[in-house]
Chains A and B, each alone.
Chain A
């Protein structure tokens, strides 16, 4: 119970105010009768029982679903840090002098993420990958004054749907770029053809939604830049522990999902949208979201503040670069703590393990009759499409009684499987054993 009123105090406060009905401005026609307390206030024991009772209908699962949202282990040191009341119960740091802890943590998030993606300017969070992408599209449109945006036809349906909503509002056409059927790699000739119409930006994903690395990102950057378009790269920042940073491959903007670096997946929310740009004031001044900057105080001590706020809604109102206000700050703090804990070797070790274990899963699945994994011949990170003789729905129906969930359906006989640090070899073996009997 957060509080129960103290009637003696209330009595004396009412007496001080001397107003009978504090709500008399509300027209009687809309005032509710305020019945006596029904149901009566419930104490912690009851609340805990009720919530746990409701949640008790959930069933534990070993799931092979990913697709841009991942269930990873959350180290105890990370949860311990973000459960600090000083962090969790603070607001946006409008008073920087008493909010240095949050500001420095967010600045460190910006620093660590910049190193990973290879672009120096990272904002202090968007809602999720999909809205980060939508905002990247809007940034490209503002910078280039063009009204088309090219995307891979292999991209996530969730992100495509969200992008579509924001594009419709802004009057922007989304154009699909096709891929090579065997490798899944983006079709560069088609990209070149698409760019016959001036585009604000080209978006690619690497690792792609279907799990493989795009192998020609510098060529895509060149094609985009030659036509005056910006290159936006969507990525899993975890892959950057091992793979080339998108920033070093020609990306002007990097977006992605970072919640799995230190946060529980919780059925897809909260998430942590990553947004980064090149060091170019033309882009920085047009970008969405909060930016934390380093400065000094009156004594010359290093300190941190929210910077370049004139881009934001509370100052620029309808001309703001975005409407975002409340963001995912605490998830970004968790991410900073997580990356600090893993360090460069831990991150590379994790990425290598995911790649190796996904390879193990592919090999095991491929050994099942009628199965092929990966379905696309490219270098994969930790996800892959497996084609199967039966439908994903039939697979899930067979797996459910065993507490397993297969990949995300991506075709009538294909699903996208994902490996995280929570999968044991036994889980993969169990998956294959059940599938073998199908």
Chain B
């Protein structure tokens, strides 16, 4: 039986004038105060707390949060697999955490070697020829990829500013394309949930910059026509971008580079088991073909024998998308993961797909599975629809998702992809056992029954989380975004 802790703990209410745990560093000499024009009139209104106060407050907050460590977290598209604890230890060793990004390479040869080896592994896994670890996340990799694609077209004479994005795509794809200077052209999907190849052939033109594709797509369906798709885009002079969010389905079994993708990104926080941290930090990396290598961002990691250094000498580079080299701490975790597992990546993707297909098998006679008749295979994730259920009982995807929380299971992704009405997107990942999958399926089937027998309980769920349903509309109508904001 699951019961989440519920506290009414307030940082500022804990504050006691004069309380303190922190002792500031010693001063080596006295400094005169700042002139009054520069110095703060009143101290910032921060709470005054002892170390114990701080620990208790945040520990209690942690009890009001659900993570993969708590239980199954089948959030589709997010690959919420277990995050090995050894990686946390390794990422926090002082020899890794102490260096400033401007420190001379002499001091960081180990970190640079790790980044180099990681890059080699990633090129091998993706079938790409050159790589940058700079992007802070998948979306930033997309933005970088769009800039690289645009730069290569600009050198070839320009005039290409249309990025083709399937209607099943994640929101970051069109957002990154627009931010990168492209017009977004939406590509419809067919009855089997795959890209409409005929529509693609009709859409491409001399304006086509490229196509952004997730494969398997966000329905969990592999884009079987990938060679034809790549051919159409390439023949039209465009380039192919691979959104690597779903790479966990393929890793070790097939490589985007071999499918014709010119630019490939990785989400370390999905595929390589680095923790999501409640929203971040993650890390992206971007691999490209030899032809696109000149446009990769600076600085470039350079190897001379056993010595590594950085080079800013790359005149055709698109520049930088963030300061320095990327989320190094996340790279360490991903490297540890790959070092442990890269010989068995196909076993991992195999398990991810087996788990998803097994779950689909348990659920398919109870829930609508869009596109199933035309495309019965799913890879690492699948989407079910609660549209009929909603019509019959009033309980939709969001209600079912919230009710799952009462069973101690995190909800799947809700209302995505947009092509499916009342979508629940389910990605169990390879680290869940058969027992967990069975329990998840039983819970969903039980909830479906509840939708008919006791819809009120479902619609008012969750009942055992730290809060009852939260009023999101009120939060949007009269936003309260901080204490200072509340004071007005």
Contacts and interface: CB of A to CB of B under 8 A. Distances in A.
A79 B319 CA distance: 34
Interface in A122-165: 122, 124-125, 127-131, 138, 156, 158-159, 161-162, 164-165
A125 B320 contact: no
A318 B139 CA distance: 13
A345 B43 contact: yes
A44 B34 contact: no
Given A97-B466, A326-B269, A317 B22 contact: no
A377 interface: no
Interface string A106-119: 11101110111001
9 smallest CB-CB distances across A and B, nearest first, come from: A268-B101, A349-B24, A330-B277, A101-B65, A85-B69, A329-B279, A89-B67, A270-B281, A57-B110
Most buried by B among A61, A291, A341, A360: A341
Interface residues of B, number: 204
B328 A110 contact: no
Interface string B8-24: 10011000000111111
Nearest to B135: A127
B27 interface: yes
B253 interface: yes
A78 B414 CA distance: 33
Interface in A325-360: 325-331, 333, 337, 339-350, 352-357, 359-360
B347 A5 contact: yes
A9 B471 contact: no
Contacts of A56: 95, 110
A356 B344 contact: no
A396 B103 CA distance: 10
8 contacts: A6-B433, A90-B67, A91-B78, A111-B11, A138-B179, A165-B318, A313-B174, A341-B54
Contacts of A162: 319-323
A343 B49 contact: yes
Given A116-B44, A330-B278, A360-B28, A323 B139 contact: yes
Nearest to A396: B104
B456 interface: no
Contact of B320 (A83, A91, A158, A322): A158
A2 B69 contact: no
Interface stretch (B82-90, B234-242, B286-294, B443-451): B82-90
Interface string A309-329: 010111111111011111111
A6 B354 CA distance: 12
Contacts, number: 677
A168 interface: yes
B248 to A, nearest CB: 12
B329 interface: yes
Given A51-B332, A91-B73, A41 B340 contact: yes
A356 B111 contact: no
Interface string B406-435: 000011011010000000000000110110
Given A26-B254, A32-B252, A115-B44, A39 B481 contact: no
Given A241-B44, A323-B172, A340-B47, A313 B28 contact: no
Contacts of A166: 179, 321
B467 A297 contact: yes
Nearest to B60: A101
Most buried by B among A6, A138, A267, A360: A267
Contacts of B29: 356-357, 359-360, 363
Contact of B107 (A58, A352, A357): A58
B322 A130 contact: yes
A66 B100 CA distance: 7
Given A59-B107, A97-B466, A54 B117 contact: yes
Contacts of B316: none
Nearest to A93: B278
B233 to A, nearest CB: 16
B30 A356 contact: yes
B175 A270 contact: no
Most buried by B among A19, A59, A129, A171: A59
Interface stretch (A175-183, A223-231, A298-306): A298-306
A359 B339 CA distance: 46
A94 B476 contact: no
Nearest to B143: A323
B252 A265 contact: no
B410 A356 contact: no
Interface string B468-480: 1111101110011
A352 B468 contact: no
B86 A48 contact: yes
Contact of B110 (A58, A97, A161, A303): A58
A92 B170 CA distance: 15
Contacts of A89: 67-70, 73, 80, 83, 275-276
Interface stretch (B198-206, B219-227, B365-373, B387-395): B219-227
Contacts of A353: 24-27
A142 B287 CA distance: 32
Most buried by B among A96, A130, A428: A96
Given A85-B67, A90-B67, A58 B108 contact: yes
Interface string A204-217: 00000000010100
A340 B51 CA distance: 9
A42 B49 CA distance: 45
Given A107-B482, A168-B319, A326-B280, A57 B109 contact: yes
A264 B92 contact: yes
B323 A159 contact: yes
Contacts of A317: 171, 174-175, 184
B414 A120 contact: no
Nearest to B437: A13
Interface string A352-387: 111111011001000000000000000100000000
A31 B258 CA distance: 9
Interface in A10-48: 10, 12-14, 16-17, 19, 22-27, 29-32, 34, 37-44, 46-48
A202 interface: no
A269 B326 contact: yes
B62 A97 contact: no
Contact of A114 (B66, B437, B482): B482
A128 B178 contact: no
A92 B20 contact: no
Contacts of A10: 351, 354
Contacts of A6: 433-434
Given A55-B96, A162-B321, A326-B139, A125 B114 contact: no
Contacts of B98: 60-61, 71, 264-265
Given A77-B54, A88-B278, A92-B278, 9 more contacts: A1-B340, A38-B343, A41-B341, A92-B279, A127-B136, A131-B322, A156-B323, A245-B44, A269-B328
